[in-house]
Amino acid sequence: MTTNSPIPYPFVAIVGQEDLKTSLILNVINPGLSGVLIRGEKGTAKSTAVRALADLLPEIEVVDGDPFQSDPRDPRAMAPDALARHLAGERLPVRRRKVRVVELPVSATEDRVIGTIDLETALKEGRKVIEPGLLAAAHRGILYVDEVNLLDDHVVDVLLDSAAMGVNTIEREGVSLSHPARFTLIGTMNPEEGELRPQLLDRFGLCVQVEGLTDPARRVEVVKRRAAFEDDPAAFAERWAGETEKTRQAIAAAIAAYPRVKASDAILYAIADRSLKLGVDGHRSDIVMLKAAKALAAWAGRDEVSDADVDAAAALALAHRVRRRPFEGIVREGGREKGEG
Integer angstrom CA distances of residue 109 from 44, 90, 95, 123, 223: 28, 36, 30, 24, 36
Contact 224, 181 (CB under 8 A): no
**Closer to its own copies at the Cβ: 4 or 88?**
4
CB of 23 to its own copies, least distance (A): 16
Q: Determine whether 259 is exposed, middle or buried from the number of CB atoms within 10 Å of its CB (0-12, 13-18, 19+).
A: exposed
Instruction: Please list the residues that pair with 145 across neighbouring strands.
Output: 187
Q: Which of 76, 284, 321, 332 is catalytic?
A: 284
Cβ distance 246 to 56 under 8 Å?
Answer: no
Least distance to its own copies from the beta carbon of 34, Å? Answer: 6
Measured from the CB atom, is 84 or 167 closer to its own copies?
167
Q: Nearest distance from residue 300's CB to its own copies, in Å?
A: 20
Classify 97 as helix, strand or coil. strand
Q: How far apart are CA 187 and CA 149, in angstroms?
A: 9
Supply the minimum distance, in Å, between the C-beta of residue 330 and its own copies: 17
| Residue number, 109 or 249, with CB nearest to its own copies | 109
Compare residues 138 and 163 and give the one whose CB is closer to its own copies.
163
Minimum separation from the CB atom of position 114 to its own copies (A) = 8
Cα torsion at 33, 34, 39, 45 (round to 10°)?
Answer: 80
CA triplet 229, 149, 17: central angle to 5 degrees?
40
Q: Which is closer to its own copies, CB of 250 or CB of 278? A: 278
What is the number of residues in the chain? Answer: 341
Is position 284 annotated as part of the catalytic site?
yes
**Which residue numbers are catalytic?**
284
